[in-house]
Amino acid sequence: MAASITQTLEPIFKRGKEILKLTLEWTAHTDGAVAGITTDNGTFCGETITKTLTGRSLKNMITKPTSATTYTATMTMDGEDLFGGTGTLRSTSATESLAPLVGGVPEYRTITGPLTPGITGAGSGGTGTIILEFGKGE
């Protein structure tokens, strides 16, 4: 089974502010991994998702598993894990939320290039959802 990610970007309002919500629904390869897909692979209103998000602030990552195996979720930009390695051992049953980190301290991250999600250890054909929330550049 080949790994896949479906990317959906939509504007929503949260606490009276417009944010962009990027939903990544993933299915793992037989080795339990998802790799090699970036926000350059998805589009929104005729632009790449990367272009739409550039200059926005990454505020939050939410993981919603449907996999029966704990897994690790990463989100990298320019080779850096934006969540500082805190995406390990994602729950098999609970929705979990993470803040982006800089030097171990929570801090919004300005998007300057493609985001690359990574999943490892999800088991053959494991599935789940990652939601990223972006505010206007702050």
List 80's β-bridge partners, or say none. Answer: 77
Instruction: For residue range 51-103, list pLDDT tens digits in order.
Output: 999 999 999 999 987 777 888 999 999 999 999 999 998 988 889 999 999 98
pLDDT digits (tens, 9 = 90+) for 33-45: 998 899 999 999 9
Residue 138 is predicted with a pLDDT of 62
Count: domains in the chain: 1
Mean pLDDT calculated for residue range 133-137: 89
Question: Average pLDDT of the chain?
Answer: 92
- Residue 53: phi and psi, rounded to 5, are -85, -20
Q: What is the CATH number of the domain that holds 124?
A: 2.60.120
Query: Residue 51 sits in which domain range?
Result: 4-135
Q: Is the pTM of this model over 0.95?
A: no
